[in-house]
Structure 1
Amino acid sequence: MGEGKGYGKVILFNEHFVVYGIPCIVSSIDRYTTCRVERTHGSGWIVEDLRPSTPGYKEDKLEQQKDSINRILAAMNIEPRDFCLKITFGGNLVAASGIGASAASCVALARALSDEFNLNLNDDRINEIAYEGEKAYHGSPSGVDNAAATYGGVLWFIRGNPPTIERLRLAGSVEILMADTGIVADTSKVVASVRERMNREKEKFDKIFAQARELAYEAREALLSMDLKKVGELMIENHRLLQEIGVSSRDLDRLVEIALDAGALGAKMTGGGWGGNIVALVPGEDLQEKVAQAIEKEGYKVLKTKIW
């Protein structure tokens, strides 16, 4: 039996922009997906998905999950012909949009297979394999989600071959919270929508993307110096840019508004958009709890966590 684990993630700055080579800042969170693989009689593979989830998420993503598993097996040159692989997903990361659920499952599966077949793969190779699995969910993924799921911590990420992945070591941990719209979104469709609009409105999008690039470097310095007021201001500005490229939604905007009204230093959508989650910067357990209660009062589910 082989076992593996992959972290959930929160994109702090520049989802979507990262697809086009603009720096992104992402962090793992203290929730994870586990995977267990066992060889049994038969051939092929079967999957049991025991992850907690947003209603409808696992059903909507089932065909993508099957494709992802096949891609990971192919990338690892594992052909279950003389045996059947039983794949079981679990853990405490809720399977939902915007929290890195697919990447966490890809990393967990790659690690479990490496363990079961004694491949002793290092993190860099696990990350590469997970990226292949992510293609089933996102079409042409940036690679940022699987990087966070693999390496952990706060990462500075620039898409490339190979990508730039740098650990940003903060002076201490900082409380955040994530709030779920309850809406399951198809990231590949959102990415395609951005590309279509960018082709139609090139001059407008060039200006927005230039602002996003500058913002990333400001956010990097603010995080490293622990200037949390500045980090919060930049999160709000990043959300505005994401609104301008058409990837936010009424529910996401509403959650951002509730968080800011309750005292969050900053808030923005996180992940693919059109649904999924927001992230709010709420340093200190008292503020975290206050903002969480304000959001839960409106009927939304909240995840309280930290970045470090």
Structure 2
Amino acid sequence: MSSGSGYGKTILFGEHFVVYGLPAIASALGNTTTCVIEDSDEYELVDDRPATPSYKKEKYDEQVESNKNLYAACGIDVDENPIRVTLAGDLAAASGVGASAASSAAIARALNEHYSLGYDDAKINEIAYEGEKGYHGKPSGIDNTAAVYGGLIWFVKDLEGGLNTMDRLSMPEPVEIVLGNTGLTSSTKQVVGDVRENREAEPERYAKIFSDYAGIVDEAKGALTSGDMKSCGQLMNRNHSLLQDITVSCSELDMLVDVARDAGALGAKLTGTGRGGLMQALTPGKDLQDAVATAIEDKGFTAYKTRIGI
């Protein structure tokens, strides 16, 4: 029996913009997906992760494709050498927390151990990226990087196919956040494709939006590393407005953002694919975190309390 794990993540700044070579900032969460691999008489995938209703069903075909990519990247034939793959952990399988990347990283680590492949973290990250292709088509690479390495990451995708820029950032101390779950699941491939089509149809408008975002993420880097959470929250609010402009938010996300801000959050925005999935709220201090989580739950939504900068 062999095991592996992958971190969940939240994209603090830059979802969608990162696909086009602009910087993004992601943070691993204190929640992980685990994978256990055992030899078996036949191939079997057991998914025991906690999940948003319908998430596993809607993502099943993509999960199958992802796992095929992972096995192929490791040179493993599960038909000739059948294994039982069991996914679990305390990371909810939901849109926006890097669930697919966490599972890809966990499976890659477990395969590495089970077959004594001798991969280092850089290679594990490459393998996890192949797994991400099953879910996202042309992933940015930020989710799997956070899932493998953890911590706080400044990420820039190399659009020429070379090495992506990945710089580790640090915060003075971990900070509490709240994730609000819309309960909706969207297709990352579909949403990313829609943004691409809209950008091609309105190049001047989108150029202005992308330019505005570039300024936001530069300011956010300084705010996070200096511990200026008030400025960080304001920048999150501005980032959410731009995500609304490129049509990746939805009424449920916008409502959760408003609820969090009204309850005292320093800032709030969608995180991840959008059009469902999760909203994140910056809530330094346990009391503020509890207050925002309660406000979200009072509206009938699920709230997750966690920390960034760990």
Q: TM-score range by the shorter chain?
A: over 0.9
Question: What is the CA deviation profile of residues 243-279 of structure 1, one whole-angstrom value per residue up to 9, with x for unaligned ones?
Answer: 0011000000000000000000000000000000010
SS of 1:167 mapped into structure 2: strand
- Structure-2 residue corresponding to 1:283: 284
- Aligned-partner Cα distance in 2 for 1:40–1:88: 12
- Aligned-partner Cα distance in 1 for 2:12–2:274: 13
Aligned residues: 306
Q: Tell me how large the CA RMSD over aligned residues is.
A: 0.8
- Aligned-partner Cα distance in 1 for 2:152–2:80: 42
- Aligned-partner Cα distance in 2 for 1:252–1:283: 21
- Aligned-partner Cα distance in 1 for 2:74–2:274: 31
- Aligned-partner Cα distance in 2 for 1:82–1:62: 23
Cα offset for 1:120? 2.2
- Aligned-partner Cα distance in 2 for 1:193–1:81: 37
Given residue 150 of structure 1, which amino acid in structure 2 is its aligned partner? V
Equivalent residues in 2 for 1:46-125 (5 A)?
46-125=44-123
Cα offset for 1:41? 2.6
Question: What is the CA deviation profile of residues 31-61 of structure 1, one whole-angstrom value per residue up to 9, with x for unaligned ones?
Answer: 110001111234xx22010001001000111
Cα offset for 1:136? 0.7
- Aligned-partner Cα distance in 1 for 2:297–2:80: 50
Equivalent residues in 2 for 1:6-21 (5 A)?
6-21=6-21
Given residue 265 of structure 1, which amino acid in structure 2 is its aligned partner? L
SS of 2:26 mapped into structure 1: strand
The list of structure 1 runs, each at least 4 consecutive aligned residues, that deviate by more than 4 angstroms after superposition, is: none
Equivalent residues in 2 for 1:238-257 (5 A)?
238-257=239-258
Gapped regions of structure 2 (runs ≥ 5) = none
Gapped regions of structure 1 (runs ≥ 5) = none
Is 1:175 aligned to 2:173, yes or no?
no
SS of 1:286 mapped into structure 2: helix
Question: What is the CA deviation profile of residues 97-123 of structure 1, one whole-angstrom value per residue up to 9, with x for unaligned ones?
Answer: 111100000000000000101112111
Cα offset for 1:179? 0.6
Equivalent residues in 2 for 1:131-170 (5 A)?
131-160=129-158, 161-170=162-171
SS of 1:61 mapped into structure 2: helix
- Aligned-partner Cα distance in 1 for 2:90–2:174: 20
- Structure-1 residue corresponding to 2:218: 217
Given residue 92 of structure 1, which amino acid in structure 2 is its aligned partner? D
- Structure-1 residue corresponding to 2:37: 37
Cα offset for 1:164? 0.7
Cα offset for 1:173? 0.7
SS of 2:4 mapped into structure 1: strand
SS of 1:217 mapped into structure 2: helix
Given residue 52 of structure 2, which amino acid in structure 1 is its aligned partner? T
- Structure-1 residue corresponding to 2:272: 271
Q: Pick from 124, 127, 139 the counterpart of residue 126 of structure 1.
A: 124
SS of 1:129 mapped into structure 2: helix
Taking structure 1 as the reference length, the TM-score comes to 0.98
Cα offset for 1:6? 0.3
